[in-house]
Amino acid sequence: MIAVPAVELVDLKVNFGSIRAVNGLSFSAELGEVVSVLGPNGAGKTTTIETLEGYRRPSSGSARVMGLDPVSDRRALAPMIGVMLQSGGIYPSMNSGEALRLFASYFPDPAPVSDIAAKLGIDNFARTPYRRLSGGEQRRISLALALVGRPKVAFLDEPTSGMDIEGRLAVRQVVSELRDSGVCVIIATHELSEAERFSDRVIIVDQGNLVAQGPPRDLIDESGTESLEDLFLAVTRREASDRDRREKPERDRRYKPGTGRREKPEKARRDTKGKNQ
């Protein structure tokens, strides 16, 4: 039997109308690997992950999870994946104990609810309705629901967002345990220091393009920067500056605000100025 990657994207492009959110992204991840997808706001992280979760169809290219198509093989894939959305996704009037037991009932071989609740420290507010919890507490429940079905692949969108230090430590511990038990974990995050700590590999995307990928330490060393944050700023700024250069002729033809007339290109303005002098 040929082993397939847990997650595989090949030249993935996703368009929303005329806007291209993901522009030819390719990467794969194996079981037992933790991969963080990083990028500025609007870079295409969530769109990429949601395509792998089966929420979006690729405009072109392909997405596979455990060798299956996330959209057409949704039924076969659902018991194998765990999903933590960027926000919400839980009945507001339900408490965490009820939500965990309900989600556990969906899966053929769920993890014991009490174990997960204890691991993520949600015992203390297990009877409080979801809507009354703090942002960090809501994130813990969302993570617990993603893991209750014992997934082979876990997609975690901003798992530590809004969490206190205790919550972050719990998430780090959980991610480490998932890796050790052979789960592929794909994380979308803005928390660069967290990503540097728990990722085997990072994928940096900007404007839907892949701008860097590899183990965080290797990328930092190769680039001569001091941290993942420095590297991130370097590659996304470089990308922004490259893009600026590519788009400059177009920008130079932009309309003057409030006038309805096109501005003259900068060079032309300088030339005109010179002639007038």
C-beta closer to other proteins: residue 157 or 239 = 157
3 state DSSP class of 85: coil
Pick the binder of other proteins from 4, 5, 26, 102 (CB under 8 A): 102
Residue 233 found at the interface with other proteins (CB under 8 A): no
CB of 107 to other proteins, least distance (A): 6
E-strand stretches of the chain: 7-16, 19-29, 34-38, 60-65, 81-84, 153-157, 184-189, 201-206, 209-214
Residues 142-181 interacting with other proteins (rule: CB under 8 A): 145, 149
The length of the chain in residues reads 277
Residue 126 found at the interface with other proteins (CB under 8 A): no
N-terminal to C-terminal alpha carbon distance within the chain: 78
Dihedral pair phi/psi, residue 264, rounded to 5° = -75, 145
C-beta closer to other proteins: residue 40 or 97 = 97
Q: Which span (11-19, 35-43, 91-99, 246-254) binds other proteins, by CB under 8 A?
A: 91-99
C-beta closer to other proteins: residue 132 or 217 = 132
E-strand stretches of 17-168: 19-29, 34-38, 60-65, 81-84, 153-157
Pick the binder of other proteins from 11, 16, 57, 91 (CB under 8 A): 91
Coarse DSSP helix, strand, coil percentages of the chain, rounded to the nearest 5 percent: 45, 25, 35
Q: Which residues bind other proteins (CB under 8 A)?
A: 53-55, 74-75, 78-79, 81, 83, 85, 87-94, 98, 101-103, 105-108, 145, 149
